[in-house]
């Protein structure tokens, strides 16, 4: 307990006192509840009273004062409602994709710190947070949990969130390592991608997140990479993570991702998260026997335990143990609302239809659809937070039926989504007390059209539900929502669409509506944030962290590899066998793919409008070992606002890439001088044979603007050849 010693020295001291049996305790996790549907129950009777009622639990060693690891799903808040701890609520942050849309790491840090504080108050010391997987497949059911399609943005935002969580003496993970970029067949698929492409995309996002956030643990994923399961993949867990990146924390498995004992241990897995979700308890008796026989060296077991103990010391679990208590509901709700206000994106604003006038007398506002009278939608799965104000009435039925795509009939599940309080309808009424505000649920299109005809403005709320475990089949709004928007827009030219979606959606009605607001899954403060943006109390400043395609045909995979029309997963009948998911786009993810293929998207990466205007001027470039870009950003409009200055580079070889951005807040007429330096890895290509980044000598084209396609200023700069070791 001498805090003057290093975490390694403290771990060594306590480990000297441990028996082999005690060390084996720390590497074998359990479900944090005595029973959960879909899992078997291997939990011994003596342990059940100790369980925290959560995702995971690793018993401590009371004899030596080693605390238990009490683990909760996280990222969007402390996720422990439902069948785990009924009635337990927490403040729900917006989706991680919305946080990425802020382009503001300080907002991500504040949200992470809020999660860390609530975790402490609820008795948890490990947050299974830090989703870093790229939005390579925008129909991925977990797109909303991740932080966009660009490795620099994803790494910075995820790293800041992790750092925020751990500022509260809580361990945060980074996950899912690696290439878990789709849910379809996630447990059987094998990702086929060349190492250079992997290093320049998915792995680079993780590398940056680790550098910025220093997560105490890494969670390995379900899928295979080059036919080897991620949780027993020595290339990922040892060659990249340990040898190249020098990672010092521990690796834990995803729930159900372990398939062996010796192979997983010797590849670099340090802890089986939950033997209740794996086929057998691989790190229980089999590991005990393997160590006794020498097929797992005793030194490797000691290394596993050292990594766990070192992390517990380094992140403060010994020195600042968690203490249960009340959460700061109002303070934390303010954090969630600020997050939402910075990440909501204004996509269209024809003839300055927005903002609405909150003081206009006798204004008639028709609010239509999207459960706007009840709450705002959230994404489903293990990240599901039962937010403040949650009741059974917040569970709503979504989807169902069939859909014909390319002449094939696809089966759609009838999902049950969870809404977060409060209701946009109530917040709109609060913002415009002199207006006459009506609501129709949108199920009856004729009724919605009648309401729209009587109104000065029609606000249509549209939803797209995403959840862990299944991908959406396309990017269309489900059900009758496209038809509803078309009909309402025909009845009222002043129609505003507010989208609550897990990711990009197609908009066949785009040219017929006056405004579009992408609100994502905006969390507990989302309704107020939407209303404040609609009425101009907040100037929107979110920017798209993913490209919005015009149609699925523009994507590298028009239909997700492994997806079947009956929504069952290819390869899961009988004994699951690996099959390749070939990401032929390689490192050309998102906007890189669109530029490479000369495709025009519906909305480009980085795009977003404001109620004011900005100019990007006076670009000056300096090239040597990397690129230095200086420029001025000026507010040329009549309102204060924020913009995101973005710098993109097209090297002599390889795709265009975002190399820097800065969110700038300016008053009307105000200017700010910005200087950005490109991380050398962002302008390099990875040479797998030499295991290094190579910066090619030559002329690099630099673009400054407000999106991946905006060329407000363009210049060329010469860069010298060089190398960067990983």
Q: Are 153 and 103 in contact (CB under 8 A)?
A: yes
Please tell me the distance from the alpha carbon of residue 484 to that of residue 35, in angstroms, as a whole number.
Answer: 43
Q: Where are the alpha helices (DSSP H) in 495-584?
A: 526-534
Instruction: Report CA-CA distances (Å) from 608 to 154, 351, 489, 592, 631.
Output: 18, 16, 22, 18, 20
Please tell me the distance from the alpha carbon of residue 469 to that of residue 619, in angstroms, as a whole number.
Answer: 46
DSSP output for 60-118: -BGGGTBPPEEEEE-SSS-B--TTTSTT--BPPPPPHHHHHHTT-HHHHHHHHHHHHHH
In DSSP terms, 495 is beta-bridged to 458
Give the DSSP H or E segment for 158: helix 151-166
Q: How many residues are listed for the chain in this entry?
A: 726
Q: Which residue has the tokens 């040597």?
A: 624
Instruction: Write the Ramachandran bin of 581: left for phi over 0, alpha for psi from -120 to 50, otherwise beta.
Output: beta
Q: Are 160 and 108 in contact (CB under 8 A)?
A: yes
Instruction: Write the Ramachandran bin of 450: left for phi over 0, alpha for psi from -120 to 50, otherwise beta.
Output: alpha
Give the number of other CB atoms < 10 A from CB of residue 183. 26
Give every strand in the sheet of 657-666, ordered side by side.
657-666, 641-650, 698-705, 713-719
Nearest to 543 by CA among 99, 33, 31: 99
Nearest to 591 by CA among 549, 647, 652: 549
Please tell me the distance from the alpha carbon of residue 703 to that of residue 678, in angstroms, as a whole number.
Answer: 13
Structure tokens at 514: 């006056």
Nearest to 442 by CA among 369, 367, 372, 375: 369
Let me know how many helices (H) and strands (E) the chain has, helices first.
17, 30
Nearest to 108 by CA among 169, 158, 43: 158
Q: Which residues are catalytic?
A: 254
Q: Which residue has the tokens 């680079």?
A: 204
Instruction: Report CA-CA distances (Å) from 500 to 345, 399, 494, 523.
Output: 11, 15, 20, 10
- SS3 sequence, 656-675? CEEEEEEEEEECCCCEEEEE
Q: Are 551 and 394 in contact (CB under 8 A)?
A: no
Q: Where are the alpha helices (DSSP H) in 492-534?
A: 526-534
């Amino acid at each position: 307990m001498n805090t003057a010693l290093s975490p390694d020295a403290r771990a060594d001291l306590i480990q000297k006192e441990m028996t082999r049996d005690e060390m084996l305790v720390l590497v074998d996790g359990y479900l944090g509840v005595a029973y959960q549907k879909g899992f078997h129950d291997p939990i011994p009777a003596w342990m059940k009273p100790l369980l925290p009622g959560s995702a995971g639990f690793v018993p401590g060693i009371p004899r030596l004062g080693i605390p238990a690891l009490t683990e909760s799903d996280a990222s969007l808040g402390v996720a422990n409602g439902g069948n785990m701890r009924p009635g337990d609520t927490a403040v729900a942050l917006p989706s991680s994709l919305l946080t990425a849309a802020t382009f503001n790491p300080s907002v991500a840090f504040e949200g992470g710190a809020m999660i860390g504080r609530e975790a402490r108050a609820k008795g948890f010391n490990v947050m299974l947070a830090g989703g870093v997987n790229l939005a390579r497949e925008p129909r991925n059911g977990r797109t909303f949990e991740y932080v966009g399609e660009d490795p620099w943005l994803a790494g910075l935002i995820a790293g800041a969130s992790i750092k925020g969580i751990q500022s509260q003496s809580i361990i945060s993970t980074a996950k899912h390592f690696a290439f878990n970029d789709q849910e379809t067949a996630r447990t059987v698929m094998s990702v086929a991608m060349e190492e250079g492409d992997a290093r320049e995309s998915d792995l680079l996002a993780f590398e940056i997140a680790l550098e910025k956030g220093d997560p105490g643990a890494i969670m390995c994923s379900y899928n295979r990479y080059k036919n080897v399961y991620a949780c027993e993949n020595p290339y990922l867990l040892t060659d990249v993570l340990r040898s190249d990146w020098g990672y010092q924390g521990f690796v834990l498995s995803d729930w159900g991702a372990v398939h062996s004992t010796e192979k997983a241990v010797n590849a670099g897995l340090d802890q089986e998260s939950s033997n209740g979700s794996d086929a057998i308890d691989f790190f229980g008796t089999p590991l005990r026997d393997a160590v006794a026989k020498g097929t797992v060296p005793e030194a490797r077991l000691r290394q596993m335990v050292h990594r766990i103990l070192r992390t517990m010391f380094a992140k403060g679990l010994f020195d600042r143990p968690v203490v249960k208590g009340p959460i700061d509901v109002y303070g934390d709700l303010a954090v969630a609302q600020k997050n939402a206000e910075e990440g909501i994106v204004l996509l269209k604003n024809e003839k300055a239809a927005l903002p609405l006038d909150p003081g206009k007398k006798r204004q008639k506002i028709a609010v239509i659809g999207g459960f706007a009278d009840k709450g705002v939608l959230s994404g489903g799965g293990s990240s599901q937070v039962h937010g403040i104000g949650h009741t059974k009435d917040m569970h709503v039925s979504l989807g169902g039926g069939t859909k014909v795509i390319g002449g094939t009939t696809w089966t759609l599940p009838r999902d049950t989504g969870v809404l977060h309080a409060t209701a946009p309808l109530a917040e709109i009424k609060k913002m415009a007390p002199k207006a006459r505000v009506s609501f129709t649920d949108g199920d009856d299109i004729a009724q919605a059209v009648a309401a729209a005809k009587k109104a000065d403005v029609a606000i249509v709320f549209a939803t797209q539900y995403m959840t862990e475990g299944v991908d959406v089949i396309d990017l269309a709004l489900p059900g009758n929502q496209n038809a509803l928007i078309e009909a309402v827009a025909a009845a009222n030219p002043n129609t505003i669409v507010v989208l609550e979606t897990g990711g990009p959606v197609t908009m066949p009605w785009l040219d017929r509506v006056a405004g579009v607001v992408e609100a994502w899954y905006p969390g507990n403060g989302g309704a107020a944030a939407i209303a404040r943006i609609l009425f101009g109390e907040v100037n929107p400043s979110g920017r798209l962290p993913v490209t919005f395609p015009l149609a699925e045909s523009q994507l590298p995979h028009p239909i997700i590899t492994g997806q079947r029309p009956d929504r069952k997963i290819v390869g899961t009948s009988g004994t699951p066998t690996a099959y390749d998911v070939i990401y032929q786009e390689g490192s050309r993810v998102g906007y890189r793919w669109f530029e490479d293929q000369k495709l025009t998207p519906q909305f480009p990466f980085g795009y977003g409008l404001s109620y004011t205007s900005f100019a990007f001027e006076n670009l000056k470039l300096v090239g040597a070992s990397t690129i230095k870009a200086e420029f001025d950003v000026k507010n040329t409009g009549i309102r204060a606002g924020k913009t995101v200055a973005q710098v993109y580079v097209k090297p002599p070889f390889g795709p265009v890439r975002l190399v820097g951005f800065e969110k700038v807040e300016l008053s009307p007429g105000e200017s700010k001088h910005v200087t950005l330096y490109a991380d050398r890895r962002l302008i390099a290509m990875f040479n797998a044979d030499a295991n290094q980044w190579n910066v090619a000598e030559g002329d690099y084209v630099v673009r400054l603007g407000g999106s991946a396609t905006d060329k407000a200023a363009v210049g060329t700069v010469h860069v010298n050849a060089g190398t960067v070791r990983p």
